[in-house]
Amino acid sequence: MIDNNHQNLVSFIFNIANKLRGPYRPPQYRKVMLPMTVLRRLDLVTAENKDEVLKQYEKLKARGLKDNALHSALAKFATKNRKQPLYNISKYNLSKLLDDPDHIAKNLLNFINGFSPKAKEIFDYFKFETEIEKLNNANRLYLIIKEFCDPEVDLHPSKVSNIQMGLIFEELVRKFNEQANEEAGDHFTPREVIRLMTHILYTNEDVIYKKGIIRTIYDPACGTGGMLSVSEQYIRENNPNATLVLFGQEYNDESYAICTSDLLIKDEEVDNIAFGDTLGDGKTKDGHEDKTFHYMLANPPFGVEWKPEEDEVEKEHEKLGFNGRFGPGLPRINDGSLLFLLHMISKMKRGEEGSKIAIVFNGSPLFTGDAGSGESNIRRWIIENDLLVAIVALPDQLFYNTGIFTYIWFLSNRKPKERKGKVQLIDATKHFQKMKKSLGNKRNELSNDHIDEITRLYADYKPNDVSQVGLNGTKESAVCSKIFNNQEFGYIKVTVERPLRLNFQASDDRIKKLWEEPAFQSLASSKKKDKMQRIEEEEKGLASQKEIIEAIHTIDANRLIKNRDEFIKELNDALQQHSIKIESPVKKAILSALSEKDETADICIDSKGNPEPDPDLRDYENIPLPISLPLPLPLDYDKKSKPDKLIPLIKDYCEEYMKKEVLPHVPDAWIDYSKTKIGYEIPINRHFYIYKPPRELEEIEKDIKGIEADILDMLKEIV
């Protein structure tokens, strides 16, 4: 958590922003304050080697070096004590800018342009040059720079660690977003959530404690870099000698600028953070193609439509299939969060080395989508390939920008033996403490004790008693763990058919309905362009309609026939007697008009001798997958695929289900196995539901009488 000293620093910086009032509205303060905070940090960091860099710069210029060659030589010089070049060749720093107020804008640009290329690029992403001009024209530039030169804004790494700097950025972004009424969650995740993710992700990861170990960490929606920073801190606290290489991608200019500045100051590989749309939007694409990573963490946008990426994603899905990132399927257009998970899975290392993933979702990926849908197929592919390790349900009101419940999914392609074929669900929705002061929608938080307890339950890998007591001494605050077989999240969606039963009658009322049948109406319509030909064809059609009606009238109008074949024979005889030949669509129209549903009628039989199903009586049953069924199932993800290989595995099981659950109610029902689909969902709330019996009637009655008495007392006061 951010300490009081740094909270004071945030407040001080935030108060500086009030001096922008006038030329800027509060929602616009961030455009100045965030890049100025970065500039102050870089100013203090580069001050350490500024004099030496300037001397070397003059020597290199004297040798005739310039442009890229000059910067390359300076980069080598500036990296003597660093891995990443960070320097400034301008004669100015923030405090020296104050010595020449009349030219402060020009000199500030000179100062910014004097940074090493990657540092200068940060301010390009902030689009800060536009703000400098605006500030100068409004006579605010000198004032803002003077305020940032105040000793109280000491952002030197010796006073403010990189982790604390990340928290300061987080708090500033949150406060400025609050003013702008924007989505703070688009930029960062609460640090305690990230700590929980890292604690669980690195549980039982003995390899990270080995001396000299090299590990890669990746976040495809890295925002300001919080997940990367906290992951790095966690591992280094346990193994200072570990070599960690951080990778990420971010499409928001401002967040990208903050993230890269953080890495640059920490002397980490800035080029490993790619700018652009991870999924691909036609202009930018996956910035780390063909790379794989040991650990991956993400809080991707959820509940956000992926329309901008639709063309590229669908093209990859159709063209590459499982050789690309999105083989199992695509979610509906209004929520692309599962696409990020598929992207991360494609980045897993294969073989014994393997990878682990932690990703934050809302509730939608757990259950949205019926069997055969994109979401269900994605869940199916993940679970049947035994990638899902655990899901932790978090409390609501934990994030700054939303009060909804959220869920952390943990995946791995190197599950330990005891976890193979199983998934652990942890319900921590009641496991939190109230904040003393709300921050946006964030009213709840996880303490270190809460994080430790959830992590312990994950590591123990045992179901626990739901009657346990939580940290605050109540059952309501307890955290619960349950373990399930993979098959328990799957179901077989079967189509249950019932036979079509029709009676037929050539009554006047039913014959009138024939005129409403499109196929019958089309007899008297023509598409001929020539008017005379069209009239001739329509008149001929009208004559045909009359002949058909006359033929039908020869059938006994009072006789109700309950067998379709019997009625068809009579209809054919009547048409033959009038020498009428009709096409199949017209015949179907006649049968449709002259028939009605009748439970007492004979079953209609098709040309192969099988009962014909009644679409109006069609129903569906979701039959739980048997635990004994081996995974993965032999059924393609293509919606057009036929479940030929699946049917022998499930038929006896489904028929037994029908005998117990369906046939006692509708004995003539059967399953159409050609329409069978496999679905997967993770109804976590159902698994942790605890039945609470309703209160006694006497207790409810007592409460009602008490309320009535209160109302009467209030009415007396009015009178």
**CATH number, domain containing residue 56:** 1.20.1260
What's the structural domain count of the chain?
3
Residues 190 and 154 both lie in one domain: no
Q: What is the dihedral of CA 333, 336, 341, 342, to 10 degrees?
A: 30
Contact of 482 with 425, CB cutoff 8 Å: yes
CA distance 420 to 528: 69
Alpha carbons within 13 angstroms on the beta-carbon side of residue 395 total: 27
CA distance 26 to 30: 8
Among 608, 594, 547, residue whose Cα is nearest residue 566? 594
Reduced to 3 states (helix: H, G, I; strand: E, B; else coil), residue 423 is strand
List Cβ neighbours of 442 (8 Å cut-off, separation of 6 or more). Answer: 190, 397, 398, 399, 400, 435
The domain boundary, picked from 597, 617, 652, lies at 597
Residues 198 and 138 both lie in one domain: no
Find where tokens 């009213």 sit. 443
Cα distances (Å, whole numbers) of residue 501 to 275, 553, 609, 701: 64, 24, 15, 53
Residues 170 and 203 both lie in one domain: no
Contact of 427 with 480, CB cutoff 8 Å: yes
In-domain check, residue 162:
yes
Contact of 80 with 51, CB cutoff 8 Å: no
Residues 106 and 216 both lie in one domain: no
In-domain check, residue 542:
yes
Contact of 241 with 212, CB cutoff 8 Å: yes
Q: Which two three-digit tokens encode residue 111?
A: 């100062």
Looking at residue 323, what is its pLDDT?
Answer: 95
CA distance 41 to 554: 98
The domain boundary, picked from 180, 214, 238, lies at 180
In-domain check, residue 549:
yes
Contact of 224 with 230, CB cutoff 8 Å: no
Q: Which two three-digit tokens encode residue 538?
A: 């329509």
Looking at residue 719, what is its pLDDT?
Answer: 61
Q: Which two three-digit tokens encode residue 86?
A: 């960070």
Helical axes 117-126 vs 253-265, angle rounded to 10° = 150
Residues 135 and 240 both lie in one domain: no
Residues 191 and 173 both lie in one domain: no
DSSP-derived secondary structure for 99-135: T-GGGHHHHHHHHHHTB-HHHHHHHHHHTHHHHHHHH
Looking at residue 184, what is its pLDDT?
Answer: 40
Find where tokens 């000198």 sit. 142
In-domain check, residue 575:
yes
Q: Which two three-digit tokens encode residue 601?
A: 């009628």
Helical axes 30-46 vs 141-148, angle rounded to 10° = 50
Residues 351 and 267 both lie in one domain: yes
In-domain check, residue 569:
yes
In-domain check, residue 585:
yes
Q: How many CB atoms lie within 10 A of CB 49?
A: 18
CA distance 190 to 447: 12
Looking at residue 185, what is its pLDDT?
Answer: 43
Cα distances (Å, whole numbers) of residue 300 to 188, 224, 337, 363: 10, 13, 6, 13
Buried b (16+ CB within 10 A) or exposed e, 640-669: eeebeebbebbeebbeebbeeebeeeeeeb
Residues 215 and 342 both lie in one domain: yes
The strands making up 243-250's β-sheet, listed across from edge to edge, are 273-275, 243-250, 214-219, 295-298, 356-361, 407-412, 388-393, 422-427, 480-485
CA distance 239 to 243: 9
Among 194, 200, 140, residue whose Cα is nearest residue 456? 200
Looking at residue 4, what is its pLDDT?
Answer: 60
DSSP state of 308: G
Contact of 370 with 493, CB cutoff 8 Å: yes
CA distance 354 to 334: 32
CA distance 12 to 718: 52
Residues 120 and 145 both lie in one domain: yes
CATH code where residue 264 lies: 3.40.50.150
The beta strands (E) that lie in 181-327 are given as: 214-219, 243-250, 273-275, 295-298
**Can you give 463-514 as a three-state secondary structure string?**
CCCCCCCCCCCCHHHCCEEEEEEHHHHEEEEEEEECECEEEECCCHHHHHHH
Domain hosting 347: range is: 184-361
Q: Could you tell me the pTM of the whole model?
A: 0.86
Report, in this order, helix, strand and coil percent for the chain, each rounded to 5: 50, 15, 40
In-domain check, residue 447:
no
Residues in the chain: 719
Whether the bond between 23 and the residue before it is cis, its omega within 30 degrees of 0, is: no
Residues 171 and 196 both lie in one domain: no
Among 44, 41, 60, 52, residue whose Cα is nearest residue 79? 52
In-domain check, residue 78:
yes
Amino acid 153 reads: V
Buried b (16+ CB within 10 A) or exposed e, 348-376: bbeeeeebbbbbbbbbbbbbbbebbbbbb
Residues 118 and 258 both lie in one domain: no
Residues 224 and 79 both lie in one domain: no
List Cβ neighbours of 250 (8 Å cut-off, separation of 6 or more). Answer: 221, 222, 223, 256, 259, 273, 274, 275
The domain boundary, picked from 545, 578, 597, lies at 597
Cα distances (Å, whole numbers) of residue 604 to 125, 416, 574, 598: 71, 56, 21, 11
Amino acid 647 reads: I
**How high is the mean pLDDT in each 10-residue block of the chain (719 residues)?**
69 90 89 93 89 89 84 80 86 94 96 93 95 94 94 86 78 72 56 94 91 94 91 90 94 91 86 95 93 96 91 96 95 95 97 94 94 96 98 92 91 96 96 86 91 95 70 64 96 97 96 94 88 88 92 94 96 93 93 96 93 96 95 88 90 96 96 95 88 82 88 80
